[in-house]
Amino acid sequence: MEKIFIKQLTKEILEKNINRFIDILSDIPDEYWKSEHFLLELPSKWSFSLYATNNLEQIIGYIIASYKDFYNSIHINKFMIDKRFRGQNIGTLMLEHFENKCKTEKKNLITLKVKKSNYSAICFYLKHNFKIHSEHSDYLLMKKDLG
């Protein structure tokens, strides 16, 4: 397997590679994020967001996350792996880095929303010990306690 590098996302990296970030989510139905959504300023976004590259320095995935006052938590706004690289453990590796960072920064909780129809992502999160917190019309709110 090729070597994967996980790095902290900066505004500069995101701006420089914005088309690549958009391209990675282009196969997801109903996905609406454009550059203005990626570039929106959110609390602690540049401390918690990550991206992954392969040994050719291609960007192959990212976690965009931000701080929420509620219960001292970090919310995953977007988590995407390039479709050619899914199912190769890269999401797991990214999530582990992300969780370690949240723990180091003494955060209590990770939250995210996932579409009810997105079975593979729900399986992925359940496998990583996220719990279903609440059910809404077309999505689930999931959470993981870090305490």
Ligand X SMILES: CC(C)(COP(=O)(O)OP(=O)(O)OC[C@H]1O[C@@H](n2cnc3c(N)ncnc32)[C@H](O)[C@@H]1OP(=O)(O)O)[C@@H](O)C(=O)NCCC(=O)NCCS
Give CA separation, 15 vs 50, 92, 117, 124, 142, in Å.
Answer: 14, 26, 31, 29, 29
Q: Is 23 in the site for ligand X (CB under 6 A)?
A: no
Which residues lie closer than 8 Å to 124 by C-beta, 6 or more apart?
91
Please identify, among the stretches 7-15, 41-49, 50-58, 74-82, the one whose residues bind ligand X according to the rule CB under 6 A: 74-82
Q: How many residues does the chain have?
A: 147
- Binding residue count for ligand X, defined by CB under 6 A: 19
Strand partners, 87: none
Other Cβ atoms closer than 10 A to 24: 23
Window 107 to 126, contacts with ligand X (CB under 6 A): 112, 114, 118, 120-121, 123-124
Options 2, 87, 103, 131; binder of ligand X; rule CB under 6 A: 87
The tally of CA atoms less than 13 A away on the side-chain side of residue 147 is 7
Of 14 and 91, which CB lies nearer to ligand X in the complex structure? 91
Q: How far is the CB of 120 from ligand X (least distance, A)?
A: 3
Q: Is 80 in the site for ligand X (CB under 6 A)?
A: yes
The tally of CA atoms less than 13 A away on the side-chain side of residue 42 is 22
Options 20, 68, 86, 133; binder of ligand X; rule CB under 6 A: 86
Q: How far is the CB of 3 from ligand X (least distance, A)?
A: 15
- Contact residues toward ligand X (CB under 6 A) are 28, 79-81, 86-92, 112, 114, 118, 120-121, 123-124, 127
